[in-house]
Structure 1
Amino acid sequence: MTALARFLFGRQARLRWIHLILGGALAMPYVLVGSVVVGPFTGVDNVFGSLPLQLASFALGLPLAAVTSLFPLTRPLESGVVRWLCGVEGDRLAYGPARTKGEKGRTAAWFTLHLGAGGIIAGMSLAVPPFAAALIALPFVPALRDDRTGLPGVLHHAWALALSPVAGAAMLVALAACAAGCGTLLARWAPALLGPSPEDRVATAEARAADLAVRNRLARELHDSVGHALSAVTLQASAARRVLDTDPEFVREALAAIEDTTRRTVGELDAVLGVLRDGDSPGTAPAPTLAGDLDGLLRRTRAGGLRVTATVAADPESLPPLVSREAYRIVQEGLSNALKHAGGQATAALRVDVLDDHLRITVENPLGEADTAGEALPPRPGGGHGLRGIADRARLLGGAAEAGAVEGAWRLHVRLPLRGNA
């Protein structure tokens, strides 16, 4: 019983009733236009004095409503009202105007349905409550039983007077049931008639996928550039602090390396933020590459205390630009991992070569080699995304990445195909 009462008189039912009454109000201009045709055709001056003529005017006005629904704002306005009053989720309805023939046809069908059902429910809402109220009050108000009120003569019988309050209440419940039923049907049909087309859904999915790809790329760039720089600067500052009183020359070199690292990282950060603001705009600084920036990366890493042995058996200048750029980030992250986990004054071996049309990158450092002069960085909360970023970069280029402990050392091995990435 509670569920039935909520269905008939709950907040959602009342809002949908308002939605139907608004449809009836929108239908009135079209009914007036229809009456202009029906009146002269039937020779009746007052069309609204006859229910059949009113219905005829209403029927003639609905096709005109379907034509005017082609106005571009019809679908977004109707969708907004349906979201607000009918309780339909926003992503199930379209936001923009109808463009294709199918969308325009569905919008016309919805607008006609809304005005048709709304006109009927609005008419019932105007006529039924006064009559039902008269029936309920009939046994208690003798003046209502006067012949001049126009009530049917049958209502003057004793049994009719006893049942008239029940009949009046039943009419009100029936009106509420009609309004609730029509509102429920309109809410159920709205997504099919006002919802996005399959093309819209595909376009939305593609836009979300593109946005997610951009966000993932920015996250990788920020992690690899800024994360590496902060790790290097932290170790450089830590090494300088330990020998501040005994090795001023090393302190000067460390401070110079910190200055160089931070200056370069600010430039890379500006480039990444430029992509975030304006897309891949030509005004942003170029991304670092293996060809032009490997030497500086090795110098800054060594200044942080990591003894790096680099063997480059490939010509970086001959690499495709995309491969060179991604390879730089992979080497950067590999050395950053070595800095964080092996600690200062540890060693790492970097090898870059080409085999079978694949660029191979290997970064290896002994496990637990950090000596008493060095200290590893503590693990960062939320860290651990570097290897995932390396795997993503390799996969996007059609390559593969492997990382793990091998014979007492931690080894990162990445293969990037050169063909197809020129």
Structure 2
Amino acid sequence: MNRAPGLLFGGRARRRWIHLILGGALAMPYVLVGSVIVGPLTGVDDVFGSLPLQLGSFVVGLPIATVTSLFPLTRPLEAGAARALCGIEGDALAHGPARTRSERGRTAAWFTLHLGLGGIISGMSLAVPPFAVFLMLLPLFQELRDTRLGTPEVLEHGWASALCPVAGLALLIALAGCVAACGALLAHWAPALLGPGPADRLAAAEARAADLAVRNRLARELHDSVGHALSAVTLQASAARRVLDTDPDFVREALAAIEDTTRRTVGELDAVLGVLRDGDAPGTAPAPTLVTDLDVLLRRTRAAGQQVTATVDTGPAALPPMVSREAYRIVQEGLNNALKHAGEPVALRIATADGHLHISVENPLGACPAPRPGGGHGLRGIADRVRLLGGTSRAVAENGTWHLHVRLPLKGST
């Protein structure tokens, strides 16, 4: 019972009332067109002087409104108004124009319903409040009783005079109830008639998938580039700290390696952040590849204290750019895992055979540290990169040795 005033006169009810009045305003041009048709058919010049003819013009104008609702902009405009005034949240309503016949038909049904209910409520809103006020003031002013609406013979009875204000108040409450009911009806049918269709849902799913792909690529790039650099810098700084007082030459070399690593990582970070843009912006540092950065990667890994034996049986310059770029990240992650978890030495082999690039990283298993919260994404990143290029990967521990083998196709990659 306490909710009744809010349902009839609350903020949501008032917004829905405005939505219905908006529908009535949109219906007026169609009513005028209907009056042009109804007038000659009935032989009446003043159509708006007769309530039945007004209703007839309204009924004739609604089908015309249905036809005009097939314009593409009708659905986004109506959905925006319903979203703002009917209290419908989230993605329950479509954002774009209707594309299919079914969506256009549902939009036409909604537009007709909105204008039909809006026209009725608009007419009631214009007529009922003045008449209700008239009834409430009728017992108080003799001048009102002498008008055409006055009923002096009825008001001679005391009970009739007392009931007039009650009747006026009842009319206002009844109007509010009709508005609330029509607003609730529109809110109920809006998701069904203006909601996204299969094409809209497919487009939204594709947009979410594209966004997720960009996020995953960014996560892989950050993990492989920045993660490797931080691991190398951590080991170099730790080694320098241990021999700070006994081997100053080693400390100087470690600090120089840390400086070089951080400088190059800043450039790689610029390239990684380019993933967030629409393509590589001018001036952005290019992503590292086997062609330009393999030697630096090996030197940086060795400077961190890791013994690496590298065998390259291919000309990196002959690799397709995408393969060269992704292969660099795969090698970087393989060395990074060995740097953090494995024993020495690490054997790296890169070769081409049978139209494929083969990458192999092998190293003895070392003591595994406690799992790091949020870590363990390196092998998953390698698998994602390999899958995107149509290759295969295998990572397994056998006989105390960790084996990482990757096979990437060279044809069809650009």
The answer to whether the Cα contact below 8 Å between 2:386 and 2:393 also exists between their aligned partners in 1 is: yes
The answer to whether the Cα contact below 8 Å between 1:66 and 1:112 also exists between their aligned partners in 2 is: yes
Deviation string 1:96-123 (CA, Å, 9 cap, x unpaired) is 3344444444333322221211010111
Distance 2:54 2:270 in 1: 69
In the alignment, structure 1 residue 349 sits paired with structure 2 residue 346: yes
Structure 1 unaligned blocks of 5 or more: 370-375
Report the Cα offset of residue 166 of structure 1.
4.6
Give the one of 358, 364, 378 matched to 1:386: 378
Task: Look up the SS of the partner of 2:346 in the other structure.
Answer: strand
The answer to whether the Cα contact below 8 Å between 1:322 and 1:421 also exists between their aligned partners in 2 is: no
Deviation string 1:82-101 (CA, Å, 9 cap, x unpaired) is 11110112412222334444
Task: Look up the SS of the partner of 1:13 in the other structure.
Answer: helix
Report the Cα offset of residue 322 of structure 1.
4.6
The answer to whether the Cα contact below 8 Å between 1:390 and 1:401 also exists between their aligned partners in 2 is: no
The answer to whether the Cα contact below 8 Å between 1:132 and 1:167 also exists between their aligned partners in 2 is: yes
Distance 1:11 1:313 in 2: 75
Amino acid at match of 1:93: L
Partner in structure 2 of residue 300 of structure 1: 300
1:46-195 alignment, distance < 5 Å: 46-138=46-138, 140-141=139-140, 143=142, 146=145, 148-151=147-150, 155-156=154-155, 160-161=160-161, 163-195=163-195
The answer to whether the Cα contact below 8 Å between 2:319 and 2:410 also exists between their aligned partners in 1 is: no
Partner in structure 2 of residue 6 of structure 1: 6
Deviates more, 1:223-232 or 1:387-396: 387-396
The answer to whether the Cα contact below 8 Å between 1:312 and 1:352 also exists between their aligned partners in 2 is: yes
In structure 2, the CA distance between the partners of 1:192 and 1:412, relative to structure 1 (3 Å rule), is farther
Report the Cα offset of residue 216 of structure 1.
0.6
Amino acid at match of 1:106: R
Deviation string 1:377-409 (CA, Å, 9 cap, x unpaired) is x986644433332343344445345466x6666
CA RMSD of aligned residues (A): 3.6
Structure 2 unaligned blocks of 5 or more: none
How many residue pairs get aligned? The number is 409
Partner in structure 2 of residue 271 of structure 1: 271
Deviation string 1:253-292 (CA, Å, 9 cap, x unpaired) is 4344334433433333232233322326798655434465
Could you tell me the TM-score, scaled by structure 1's length?
Answer: 0.81
Distance 2:88 2:149 in 1: 44
Report the Cα offset of residue 124 of structure 1.
0.9
Distance 1:197 1:300 in 2: 54
Partner in structure 1 of residue 392 of structure 2: 399
Amino acid at match of 1:178: C
The answer to whether the Cα contact below 8 Å between 2:334 and 2:404 also exists between their aligned partners in 1 is: no
Partner in structure 1 of residue 204 of structure 2: 204
Deviates more, 1:303-312 or 1:76-85: 303-312
Amino acid at match of 1:338: A
1:21-40 alignment, distance < 5 Å: 21-40=21-40
The answer to whether the Cα contact below 8 Å between 1:331 and 1:363 also exists between their aligned partners in 2 is: no
Deviates more, 1:73-82 or 1:31-40: 31-40
Identity %: 69
Distance 1:416 1:122 in 2: 72
The answer to whether the Cα contact below 8 Å between 2:144 and 2:150 also exists between their aligned partners in 1 is: yes
Amino acid at match of 1:367: G
Task: Look up the SS of the partner of 1:84 in the other structure.
Answer: helix
Distance 1:177 1:32 in 2: 28
Could you tell me the TM-score, scaled by structure 2's length?
Answer: 0.82
Distance 1:205 1:276 in 2: 20
In structure 2, the CA distance between the partners of 1:322 and 1:408, relative to structure 1 (3 Å rule), is same
In structure 2, the CA distance between the partners of 1:394 and 1:132, relative to structure 1 (3 Å rule), is same
Task: Look up the SS of the partner of 2:96 in the other structure.
Answer: coil
Task: Look up the SS of the partner of 1:196 in the other structure.
Answer: coil
Task: Look up the SS of the partner of 2:91 in the other structure.
Answer: helix
In structure 2, the CA distance between the partners of 1:419 and 1:332, relative to structure 1 (3 Å rule), is closer
The answer to whether the Cα contact below 8 Å between 1:134 and 1:144 also exists between their aligned partners in 2 is: no
